[in-house]
Structures are given as structure tokens and as C-alpha cells.
Amino acid sequence: MKSGFVGIVGRPNVGKSTLLNAIIGEKVAITSDKAQTTRNAIRGIYNEEGYQIVFIDTPGIHKPANSLGKYMTDTAVSTLNHSDVILFLTDEPLSKGPGDKYITELLKKADRTPKLLIINKIDRIEPDEYRAIYDEYEQTGIFDRIIGTSALKGKNTEVVVEAIKPYIQEGPQYFPADFFTDNPMRFLVSEIIREKALMYLRDEVPHGVAVEIEQYEEGARVTDIGAVIYCEKKSHKGIIIGAHGRKLKGIGKAARQEIEALVGTKVYLELWVKVKENWRESDILVSNFGYNRKDDI
């Protein structure tokens, strides 16, 4: 058996979580068009005869503005030290902004770990631009392979898996072969609710949203779930609930349908919205929401 850990890193919003889901073939990590959707290291397990590759999706590496942001960036950076192979995702030239340069410098420190550069979103990159991105990164000399993908369209994702295999060594089977993630069901459910909330929210509201599962009772035919959507301001609470409660209903309905598919029973989902002022600024509150080191690898 060959097995190992593959860290997926990059700026926020380059498509890391979308790529993970495409490789695993299941929705392991939630995705959205808002930056900083992923907050924890999320493991997706790729199982194939003779191989178990554990992918670790990470929050985008960015300049942290608060306690939550610091936790997120720390999580991503520490993943670099625990990976047998690193996938670095980008969607633009290295010279375009400081974000990718900063990450590239970090990667240089993990000099013994094989690194693959993934140029994602090729469905909307012109061939000339792709060439320019490719050449610039190739000149850094730190990547063992460079692959273009469209995670969204599922293009070339199997090429990524094949490119990783030569770097995976003999090792134990870490998880049962039918596991696609080791995240508990409650976590997956809270993330689905957060994803649906993000879908409906704009501006600064989504970044302050956290979801806590308060009740989770599994029955043979019905799963009873009660969850609280936390936000940072009174005004945000009104936005999340919406006129006549319509937005919250929409969030609940979309979440319920997806949770039913996941758990395989009917789901009763009750949602509340509560305010916790500026929780992202507070180490304690951030940790209380489950964003703490014990969840890491």
C-alpha cells in the first residue's frame, strides 16, 4: 500500500476546495465566490487499489486582519510541514500581486517536499496568459511539475492525481477504504449551512458568519438538527433573516436538501440567528467556534 498526505495551498479563492472536491468526487469542502470560505484544514481521502492519498485543503494564505484570519493562515502554513507532496494553486502570473510571491517564499523553505504547481481556472485563461504564468513559475525552479486544470469543469484533475503518485511512498492505510473524509457528520452539516448562508450574503456579512450545531439526533427515518447561525452585528442578523424571514427560509431549505442527501434520511432543520459582537477579533471566541489547533493535523 502506498499512502501519504498532500497539502493544497494558495491564495484565497483560487479554487483549492473546488479542486479537492473534484479529485475526491464528493463534496468534502464547501466553496463559494467569497474569499476565505475555508477556515480549517479539511481532509479529503482519495482511495484507489493500492493507494490512499489524503488531501489536506487549507484556508487561503493571506495577510490576517483578525484572530480568525491568523488561525486560518497558521493552519495553512503548518500544513506545509506535514505534507509529503505540496499542491500550490494559482490562477494568475507570479508578478501580479504580493500574495503568490509570499507563498512561493514559504514553499522554498519546504525544500525537500515535492511541489506541483497547479494553474487553475484554465477555462477562463487565454493561451497566451497561460504561457506567461507557466514561464514565470518555471523560472523559480521550485516546482517538480506544472499542470493546468479547471477544477470547476473537472478538467485535468485526474492528471493531478497521476502526477502525485510517483511521490507517494509505501505506508499504512490511515483510514478505512470507504472514507472520503474524516470530518464528523456534525461538522459537514455545519459547513453546508454556512455555505448556503454565504450564497445568500454579500459584503462584510459572510466573513462574520459561524454555525454551531446545538442539536443533532439521528433517527432511522428522520434526523433532527438545530443550529445557530452567528453573526457579528445586530444589523447583520436582520440581513440574514431577511424580510418576513424569507432569506433564512431559503438558507434552511437549500441546506436541508443537501443534508438529506448526505445523511440519507429526512431532515428536520431548525435555524436560529444570534449575534456575537466582533467574535473574529477574540482569540477565545474564535477558539470556542472550533477554530483551534486541536482540529489540525
**What does the binding site for ligand GDP look like in residue numbers (CB under 6 A)?**
10, 12-18, 31-33, 37-38, 60, 120-121, 123-124, 150-152
- Asked if 36 interacts with Mg ion (CB under 5 A), we say no
Q: How far is the CB of 264 from ligand GDP (least distance, A)?
A: 26
- Asked if 38 interacts with Mg ion (CB under 5 A), we say yes
- Asked if 17 interacts with Mg ion (CB under 5 A), we say yes
Q: How far, in Å, CA of 8 to CA of 22, rounded?
A: 13
- Asked if 183 interacts with Mg ion (CB under 5 A), we say no
CB of 40 within 8 A of CB of 295? yes
Task: Give whichever of 53 and 76 is closer to Mg ion, judged by the CB atom.
Answer: 76
Residue closest to 85 by CA, chosen among 178, 3, 1, 28? 3
Q: How far is the CB of 262 from ligand GDP (least distance, A)?
A: 19
Q: How far is the CB of 16 from Mg ion (least distance, A)?
A: 5
Q: How far is the CB of 195 from Mg ion (least distance, A)?
A: 11
Task: Give whichever of 3 and 40 is closer to ligand GDP, judged by the CB atom.
Answer: 40
What residues contact residue 230 under an 8 Å CB cut-off, 6+ apart?
A: 208, 209, 210, 211, 212, 273, 274, 275, 276, 279, 289
Task: Give whichever of 27 and 236 is closer to ligand GDP, judged by the CB atom.
Answer: 27
Residue closest to 6 by CA, chosen among 160, 178, 173, 170? 160
User: Out of Mg ion, ligand GDP, none, which partner does residue 12 contact, by CB within 5 to 8 A per kind?
Assistant: ligand GDP
Residue type, 92: E
Q: How far is the CB of 58 from ligand GDP (least distance, A)?
A: 9
Which residue of this chain has its Cβ atom nearest to ligand GDP in the complex?
15
Classify strands 2-10 and 222-231 as parallel, antiparallel or unpaired. Answer: unpaired
Residue closest to 55 by CA, chosen among 37, 42, 71? 42
Q: How far is the CB of 60 from ligand GDP (least distance, A)?
A: 5
Which range binds Mg ion by CB under 5 A, 1-9, 33-41, 111-119, 148-156?
A: 33-41
User: 180: helix, coil or strand?
Assistant: coil
Helices marked H in 63-110:
67-81, 98-109
Residue with cell 518555471: 138
| Contact positions vs Mg ion (CB under 5 A) | 16-17, 38
